[in-house]
Amino acid sequence: MAYWQVNKIKYIGPHQSLKSDLGFQYYNPEEIIGGKKMKDWLRFSVAYWHTFDQRLVDPFGDGTAIRPYDKYSDPMDQALAKVDAAFEFYDKLGVNYFAFHDRDLAPEGDTLRETNQNLDKIVDKIVEYQKTTGMKVLWNTSNLFNNPRFVAGAATSPYADIFAYSAAQLKHSLEIGKRVGAENYVFWGGREGYESLWNTDMKREQEHAARFFQMAKDYAKEIGFQAQMLLEPKPKEPTTHQYDFDAATTIAFMKEYNLDQDFKLNLEGNHANLAGHSYQHEIRVARTAGLLGSLDANQGDKLIGWDIDEYPSNLYETVAAMYEVVQEGQIGPHGGLNFDAKPRRSSFEPNDLFYGHIVGMDSFAAGLRVALKMKADHVLEDIINERYNSYNSGIGAQIEAGTVNFTDLEKYSLDKTQAQLRAATHSDHLEQIKDTINHYIIETLS
């Protein structure tokens, strides 16, 4: 039985009328570009929660979504039907990866034992599908934030029984990760933060979080689950202050607790914006620290101050993100672009899930094309090399080599005139750079 009323989505190329059929304008999976197949650069992943579970609720209204498995009223029957629908969706969209939380797949029972039984039944079915389709899991994760028991956190909960339960839940999630061959394992600390400092022992909570990550890593090793562990920063929502605020804060935490050897970062566009950063900034911070793991692909909206998980469509942002990826040579050792994104509440029909993924995949494919063209032409490399040229010889080279101190630099500077110092600086011509980037976007995609 077909759940989705669409044909397989194909590359149709740019300048086509999309009114007649769905198709990719820029994403051509098998095309070799920059030395790799496009699909290997991008490694797109479908997020189970937003695609198959999301009902398109907002804080003021019920869900509007119409989904092809809604007729199943029993939660386990629906969970099983969703697996069929999901694998048909992956095939029609032409993606090789998906990502999920434990609780996306199956309903909870009263005890963890019952919950695990429900979950295992669904995972059995997923593993069977993987054998026949070759579908891979980019990452899995544990939902340690929805249930009321996590009201004050999971690993950072002030209640030891909740820490213990979270560890037990995560243990099973790691076992499932191993069964489905997940390439990464993500920790997003939904409730790991605080509402108020007046009742919070911040240091103790952060030590507990670090302990939790250590135990997770140790258990993964014990069972031979080789996924790359990833922390996903976000500054706020649902807590007022999330401990893993942004890339820089999370890296400092990882270094303080010796987690930086075993963990890397999963970065998300909308989370970057909430932290007052661009997506590009977060990717740059992670990759220069050698800690870029994977990317959650979505975008925010400057006019709305919360996490809206919109499908990426802003070409300027995807060019900037892919520019970083191209410089890095890959997203991360096992990274991909996971669409942590959902349709708007007013886009409630089943096919809108395809449109959403198509615009997201095309936007990143377009970004990749532009970024590779700019790199091939050394556009920014030449500008940057020139900008720092004064460090390649003379006093600059001595500063970088560490062979001069403050006294030497005083001697060097003491009699320099204002005019000489002004002559040492140059206009950045930033507007010209931006015009050049626009030119590359327009030319490459025309």
Q: Applying CB under 6 A, which residues contact ligand XUL?
A: 101, 141, 186, 188, 232, 234, 268, 296, 307, 340
426 is in an annotated binding site: no
Our CB check for Co ion shows the closer of 57 and 423 to be 57
296 is in an annotated binding site: yes
Is it true that the peptide bond before 238 is cis, omega within 30 degrees of 0?
Answer: yes
Our CB check for ligand XUL shows the closer of 72 and 306 to be 306
Question: What CA–CA distance (Å, rounded) separates 367 from 373?
Answer: 10
Q: Which stretch, 138-146, 339-347, 358-366, 371-379, contacts Co ion (CB under 5 A)? A: 339-347
Which sign, positive or negative, has the C-alpha torsion 305, 307, 312, 316? positive
φ/ψ region of 390 (left if φ > 0, alpha if ψ in -120 to 50, else beta) reads: alpha
Our CB check for Co ion shows the closer of 28 and 141 to be 141
Beta strands in 304-443 (DSSP E): 337-339
Pick what 307 binds: ligand XUL, Co ion, none; C-beta below 5 to 8 Å, kind-dependent: ligand XUL
* DSSP annotation of 141: E
Pick what 141 binds: ligand XUL, Co ion, none; C-beta below 5 to 8 Å, kind-dependent: ligand XUL
* DSSP annotation of 310: B
Question: What CA–CA distance (Å, rounded) separates 329 from 381?
Answer: 15
Q: How near is the Cβ of 222 to ligand XUL at its closest, in Å?
A: 24
Question: What CA–CA distance (Å, rounded) separates 250 from 265?
Answer: 8
* Active-site residue identified among 50, 53, 102, 104: 104
Residues, the chain: 446
Pick what 122 binds: ligand XUL, Co ion, none; C-beta below 5 to 8 Å, kind-dependent: none
307 is in an annotated binding site: yes
- The set of residues, in sequence order, having a beta carbon less than 8 Å from that of 288 and lying 6+ positions away, is none
Q: Which x/- pattern, by CB under 5 A, does the window 398-437 give for Co ion?
A: ----------------------------------------
Longest dimension (CA), the chain: 83
Q: How near is the Cβ of 166 to ligand XUL at its closest, in Å?
A: 14
Q: How near is the Cβ of 141 to ligand XUL at its closest, in Å?
A: 5
Is 74 an active-site residue?
A: no
Which tokens sit at 377? 């032409």
Q: Which x/- pattern, by CB under 5 A, does the window 254-273 give for Co ion?
A: --------------x-----
Q: Among 340, 368, 372, 437, which residue interacts with Co ion (rule: CB under 5 A)?
A: 340
Q: How near is the Cβ of 296 to ligand XUL at its closest, in Å?
A: 5
Helix (H, G, I), strand (E, B) or coil at 435: helix
H or E segment and range at residue 383 = helix 379-387
Please choose, from the candidates 290, 381, 359, 299, the residue with its C-alpha nearest in 3D space to the C-alpha of residue 44: 359
Q: What is the dihedral of CA 420, 422, 426, 429, to 10 degrees?
A: -160
192 is in an annotated binding site: no
H or E segment and range at residue 127 = helix 112-133
Is 277 an active-site residue?
A: no
Our CB check for Co ion shows the closer of 282 and 340 to be 340
Q: How near is the Cβ of 411 to Co ion at its closest, in Å?
A: 53
Question: What CA–CA distance (Å, rounded) separates 439 from 333?
Answer: 32
What is the C-alpha end-to-end distance of the chain, expressed in Å?
40
Residue nearest to ligand XUL according to CB distances in the complex: 188
271 is in an annotated binding site: yes
279-298 binders of Co ion (CB under 5 A): 296
* Active-site residue identified among 50, 101, 277, 357: 101
Q: How near is the Cβ of 255 to ligand XUL at its closest, in Å?
A: 23
Helix (H, G, I), strand (E, B) or coil at 359: helix
Our CB check for ligand XUL shows the closer of 234 and 369 to be 234
Which residue positions form the known binding site? Answer: 232, 268, 271, 296, 307, 309, 340
- Residues of the binding site for Mg(2+): 232, 268, 271, 296, 307, 309, 340
- Indicate which residues carry an active-site annotation: 101, 104
What are the residues binding Co ion (CB under 5 A)? 268, 296, 340
